[in-house]
Structure 1
């Protein structure tokens, strides 16, 4: 059984193929980590899944519904998907509580009182109960990213997409965001993460996918990918990453 299925996905920008024939199946409760160099297509793949980009060929299915069909309701699809970007995207003029409640109330029709109650429960769960009335500019980067994740969770998505959510953070703040993602995994959330955190990908992923120049070159368990990669390009990428960490 699959929750998400991607078949022969192609995406072009100005005549350049950013994604080339990507196939991927994600089961319920599975955590998939996308690794690869900058520009390899990781973010574009996530944006295609959330219908923020139109695909040029191929198809994407969510719960066996083809969401890339012209007849698909993009807004209805996005209600089932939570997406978190590297740049937080919180509304600066709204409090933390208002940021979290906006989508449940406006897009999902949840009564404001219930939305606030559930938002406060999430804030408490992730150690931010005292920040409900704060504005984003009063929070650290790590706190803002945790709020962004909570905001995505507040709509009770079937699938979470996380796009390099630690790349804009100071190293000291990375651990608190990774802790939230670790807890989501333990709770059974289905997730696809684009990440440069190789150690974390190895720890949290059920499946690791190596993207290279828009091609899904290799996929496997973390143990297989990080200890015995089969593809020459995977081996070269991991060697470069390991060498850079030693500098």
Structure 2
């Protein structure tokens, strides 16, 4: 069974169709990369999956159960997903350790000692063990984004959603964030990510989906999409990426 099924999803903003009948299946341990120009609907799709936006038509299923039903417990659904945005959204008045342990303690009612032990294990796993007592403004942008990802992981999600998590970083810091995503793939995490890092997408994705004007125009393996795209719009997009030096 698929972890996630997006079935004919439409989303409108003030009469403008942002998503147009999106169909998508994400299997266990699969990494799906969404690519496309700004405004193509990538981020809106992730927000719909996480129920931050309501869909106007269609359905989204998590582990075979519809989560877009009006009667669904939204908080329960979000317990099973982690989402990380390009803005780090860390609480500035809280230490790294407290940022990571807040949700497990408040949502899952994990005891403080257990939550802190799990957080320290994650920080150690991703090279930030010495930053447990630091505050966000004492970290580099790359370190802050890694903490944001660790905070999402601390909820032990079924699915991770990563929305342009490197776009707010200086180029020198991008590598350390991409490294944590690569490690997540190796550990078997199911992920959907939007990215402008085409080389990284080609390297990490199992499936690449090209969105244009709210339509999922083409999907395939990285080899197929980047080497032999079938749709003219996909070819035009990749040509512009190559000209910009991003592939």
Asked if Structure 1 and Structure 2 have the same fold, meaning a TM-score greater than 0.5 normalized by the shorter chain, the answer is yes
Other-structure match for 2:28 = 28
- For the pair 1:39 / 2:39, whether they are aligned, the reply is yes
How far apart are 1:141 and its partner, in Å?
0.2
**Distance between the aligned counterparts of 1:141 and 1:165, measured in 2?**
11
Partner of 2:242: 242
Cα-to-partner distance string for 1:197-227 (whole Å, 9 max, x where unaligned): 0000000000000000000000000000000
Q: Note the 1:40-79 alignment, pairs <5 A.
A: 40-79=40-79
In the alignment, which residue of structure 2 is the partner of 1:215?
215
Three-state SS of the structure 2 residue aligned to 1:241 is: helix
Q: Which runs of 5+ in 1 are unaligned?
A: none
C-alpha distance in 2 between matches for 1:244 and 1:184: 29
Shift of 1:71: 1.3
Alignment RMSD (CA, Å): 0.6
- Quick one: distance in 1 between partners of 2:39 and 2:137? 30
Secondary structure of 2:60 counterpart: strand
Partner of 2:160: 160
Q: How does 1:5-154 map to 2 (within 5 A)?
A: 5-154=5-154
What is the count of residue pairs matched by the alignment? 246
How far residue 165 of structure 1 moved from its aligned partner, in angstroms, is 0.1
Taking the aligned partners of 1:7 and 1:151, their CA distance within structure 2 comes to 29
SS of 2:244's partner is: helix
Aligned position for 2:229: 229
Q: 1:173-212, aligned counterparts within 5 Å? A: 173-212=173-212
**Alpha-carbon shift at residue 160 of structure 1 (Å):** 0.1
Deviation at 1:245, TM superposition (A): 1.0
Runs of 4+ in 1 over 2 A off after TM superposition: none
- 1:57 Cα deviation from its structure 2 partner: 0.3
Aligned-residue offset at 1:21: 0.3
| Distance of 2:94 and 2:57 partners within structure 1 | 39
What TM-score do you get using the length of structure 2 for normalisation?
0.99
- The structural deviation recorded for 1:8 is 0.4
Q: TM-score, normalised by structure 1?
A: 0.99
Please state whether the residue corresponding to 1:9 is helix, strand or coil: strand
2: CA distance, partners of 1:54 / 1:210:
22
